[in-house]
Structure 1
Amino acid sequence: MQTSDVILDRLMALHPKVIDLVLDRVHRLLDALDHPETRLPPVIHIAGTNGKGSTLAMIRAGLEGAGDVCHAYTSPHLARFHERIRLAGELIGEDALADLLAECERANGDAPITFFEITTVAAFLAFSRLPADWTLLEVGLGGRLDATNVVVPRLTVITPVSMDHEAFLGDSIEAIAGEKAGILKPGVPCVVGPQQEAALEVIEYRAARLGAPLHVYGQHWHVAEENGGVVFQDETGLMDLPPPRLLGAHQVQNAGMAVAALRLLGRADGAAAAMRDAHWPARMQRLSRGPLVELAGAAGLWLDGGHNPAAGIALAEALGRLPARPTYLICGMLNTKDVTGYLRPLAGAAVRLNAVPIPGERNTLPAAETAAAARSVGLEAEEMSTVAEAIEAITAETPDARILICGSLYLAGRVLRENG
């Protein structure tokens, strides 16, 4: 039997474009497979620019804490493709994944289809065949024309919308919000996280046209840090909760969206578990073991995959909450991102940035360009060839440094693989 990696490599060649936002190809393949998307456990569909994965992880932790069984589909993966598909709480196994991919490949034949589209269909096929209480779907890109947007969900969630992927979603916050709001469905409630006014107006306009009830942050529900914990309040009442396991003030907002979703799903008894048990790699993650941790020695090694200006703001805030310690950044980014916008908020948070390329990524930004962008916003910067070289340079200068590897989920994935 062929391995999933061999099949995935073949699937990458079925369409000349990595991203091509239409739904025709997905509908064609779903039809060939007798529409597994119509046989999923009740769906919670999550779109937005920042916080989708963390919010999904908290909702899943809350549902599981309440005793429910969840399927989950997320992207991109970090170390292995299997991370994208979680069946009844467990990552999909190699044999099951290879069989599903082969089945989808046979049904598709040689017809053009993007990698994300055909692998999304494979996830739907898996979810349709194994009982569970819920299916959690994270939008890949945008919403309106995303391959996941072929379902009729029980609940939708729109996390904060900001500028990102402008080449595909539009060059204004209104245009991007319109794409995210494309997951709204008639009569299906939607939890809306904190939004810029222009984005919220677009979401509210589309919801009104569809008759989709909105539950909006600041109007229908509120969340805040208080006395070391989190206080959530909506029309049902007030909840005192433990702090989120995931770090950063932005995670309090994500936690609020998760709790609002649990309330609407009738699973508020899982709210404390949503705070306590959620795990989401490469979001201000402290690495505790592995070759790179050993190389860092006494230095603390952290990892974050945020890559847009809003993520830079959240990251700077999270660093400001940690105990005082000299902080150094190891940063690698893609050339499709707003590098200066991402780095500007971090200018006052670090002693220096060591710029690296992302190994194996054709769209990596050269280290020299990342370093130049850092200097342009007032960050001292040096170029390095690898993450390991950067760690060695930092620890030679400041053995007890805090080292944060950041700038890209693709870099985060490489680090996790290298670190075992």
Structure 2
Amino acid sequence: MARSATEAPRRATNGTATRPKRAIRDLQSAVEYIDSLVNYEKQAWVDYKRKKYSLARMSCLLSALGNPQKKFRSVHIAGTKGKGSTCAMLGAMVSNCGYTVGVYGSPHVRTVRERIQVNGELISDDDFAACIAATAAAARKPRVGTPTYFEVLTAAAFRHFADVGADLAVVEVGMGGRLDATNTIQPEVVGFTSISYDHQEQLGNTLSLIAREKAGIMKPGVLAFSAPQVKEVRAVLKQAADELEIPLKFTGEDVEFSLRFEASRGIGRHTRLCLTTPSSKFEHLHVPLLGEHQAINCGLALSIVDALKSRGFTLDDQRVMDGLAHVKVPGRMEIIREKPRILVDVAHNAASVNALMRAIGQNVIADSMVVIFGCQKHKDIRGMIRGIQLGADKIIFTRTSSPRSADPHDLAAEYLEQCGRVGQVTESLEEAMDIALSAVSREDLICITGSFYLIAEAVRKYSEPQPAGV
């Protein structure tokens, strides 16, 4: 039985990690092992202190594993929203130029193997089990101690990238940056997606404090790029870069960048961008992911592609564009069923919900939209609901499967207070879907959003059946 996420990590009497309950030989036993570890992603409350979030244990674990993170070059991506999409686009563009590229991200939607990919392919069951087994064995060595769920997955990803001889790893920060387990790499380039309010209990209750934590991935001698930021965030990132005496470039300011929304018969509604540097020129490039926010993420990814050219990577612009064209990211404006139309998106803070509502309004034609919404209790609930009510014709509040889930009755009360409208309340996604299905017609849209946990459940239960062999 998996150990409660609120319990302390299991330790042997000598201070080292205990042996897994059974040998790790396959995917199931590997998942059982990591599920037995402390998982801060699932805890109802996390006290963000150096004692809990320390790079010392992660460094010891990687050392015991042979320091796999030193065997490949990397790019490190931090931010509040858009990290996963940026990593996916960057990975696809570089891999299409003939390089072996690993991408590490979190959380996952369908399977934990999504977190570790090489050239767009998920790590295999056997390789996942082998890397987790190797990491578990390393954790039992003296002075390492019991790692967390995220630390084991991060170390296993680094081990896999080293095993396959990755030329580049694109690594997404889990939370924050300064004390994140991924901050053990020495990257070629670091990038910052849009930074806004999220995880305030851990990172701080002002944008300056949040930005300072994320700026912690900057390192001496490492190029830094950022998507456009609000003034407060921009100042913090600039100060951090100045202290390290490294260049920091913002797309739209230091990197020539523009975007526009358009519609055509062949592609439909979409966004195009232009980005120009002394060594790259991308004109009217079609962004495969919907929404203006994804064009901004794409601009950051292209800026990093250009920077990698100066670091010795041979990247042909046409092959870069061809690689971008086929990018798909699970849980980002993903239509999982056509009849009725069900769209899922992992928007989980106020800024991403606002971006989602704008993107749906621009790109999806529907007579009306029913939103099923559930989120974590420590989120900016007021801000998220303010964003949702701008696009929803009907809102159904529900509970996520996480211990951190907000009470749907509290969500409905906030909605009533803000908007003067009554939302329906359910205790489960199934109940919410029953109500939504009874309310929509053929031309309507059901949108499920607010939490990775809710989206994962929706994808599992309501995705269109795949044809045999797919």
| TM-score using structure 2 length | 0.82
User: Do the aligned partners of 1:244 and 1:276 also contact (CA within 8 Å) in 2?
Assistant: yes
Note the aligned Cα RMSD (angstroms).
Answer: 2.0
Matched, 1:416 2:459: yes
Separation of aligned partners in 2, 1:200 and 1:283: 26
Q: Among residues 259, 275, 286, which one is paired with 2:302 in the alignment?
A: 259
Q: Which residue of 2 aligns with 1:304?
A: 345
Q: Which residue of 2 aligns with 1:337?
A: 379
1:34, distance to aligned residue in structure 2 (A): 2.0
1:10, distance to aligned residue in structure 2 (A): 3.3
Separation of aligned partners in 2, 1:263 and 1:209: 24
Cα deviations across residues 156-179 of structure 1 (Å, max 9, x unaligned)? 111111111011111111111111
Q: 1:377–1:383: structure 2 CA closer, same or farther, 3 Å change rule? A: same
1:67, distance to aligned residue in structure 2 (A): 2.8
1:185, distance to aligned residue in structure 2 (A): 1.3
Separation of aligned partners in 1, 2:211 and 2:374: 28
Matched, 1:239 2:282: yes
Structure with the higher helix share, 1 or 2: 1
Letter in 2 for 1:346: I
1:3, distance to aligned residue in structure 2 (A): 3.4
Structure 2 matches for 1:148-297, cutoff 5 A? 148-226=182-260, 228=262, 229-236=272-279, 238-266=281-309, 267=315, 268-273=317-322, 275-288=324-337, 297=339
Cα deviations across residues 194-240 of structure 1 (Å, max 9, x unaligned)? 11111111111111121222121232113333473222234556421
Cα deviations across residues 126-170 of structure 1 (Å, max 9, x unaligned)? 111112321110000111111011111111111111111011111
Q: Among residues 152, 172, 178, which one is paired with 1:144 in the alignment?
A: 178
Matched, 1:393 2:439: no
1:36, distance to aligned residue in structure 2 (A): 1.2
Separation of aligned partners in 2, 1:69 and 1:16: 30
Q: Which residue of 2 aligns with 1:7?
A: 30
Q: Among residues 360, 365, 368, which one is paired with 1:323 in the alignment?
A: 365
Q: Greater CA deviation, 336-345 or 216-225?
A: 216-225
Q: Which residue of 2 aligns with 1:371?
A: 412
Secondary structure at the counterpart of residue 287 of structure 2: coil
Separation of aligned partners in 1, 2:280 and 2:112: 41
User: Do the aligned partners of 1:12 and 1:114 also contact (CA within 8 Å) in 2?
Assistant: no
Separation of aligned partners in 2, 1:62 and 1:16: 32
Separation of aligned partners in 1, 2:326 and 2:39: 41
User: Do the aligned partners of 1:242 and 1:275 also contact (CA within 8 Å) in 2?
Assistant: no
Separation of aligned partners in 2, 1:332 and 1:6: 31
Secondary structure at the counterpart of residue 307 of structure 1: coil
Unaligned runs of 5+ in 1: none
Q: Among residues 94, 99, 105, which one is paired with 1:68 in the alignment?
A: 99
Letter in 2 for 1:411: L
Q: Which residue of 1 aligns with 2:127?
A: 96
Separation of aligned partners in 1, 2:206 and 2:348: 18
Cα deviations across residues 300-356 of structure 1 (Å, max 9, x unaligned)? 210000111111210121122132520110111111211121110221211111111
Matched, 1:115 2:146: no
Separation of aligned partners in 2, 1:380 and 1:122: 47
Name the % identity. Answer: 30
Q: 1:235–1:16: structure 2 CA closer, same or farther, 3 Å change rule? A: closer
Letter in 1 for 2:378: T
Cα deviations across residues 260-283 of structure 1 (Å, max 9, x unaligned)? 111112234444235422111111
Unaligned runs of 5+ in 2: 1-23, 47-51, 263-271, 310-314, 464-470
How many residues align structurally? Answer: 410
Q: 1:227–1:351: structure 2 CA closer, same or farther, 3 Å change rule? A: closer
User: Do the aligned partners of 1:52 and 1:138 also contact (CA within 8 Å) in 2?
Assistant: yes
Secondary structure at the counterpart of residue 243 of structure 1: strand
Separation of aligned partners in 2, 1:324 and 1:344: 21
Letter in 2 for 1:170: G
1:408, distance to aligned residue in structure 2 (A): 0.6
Separation of aligned partners in 1, 2:334 and 2:257: 23
Q: 1:344–1:106: structure 2 CA closer, same or farther, 3 Å change rule? A: same
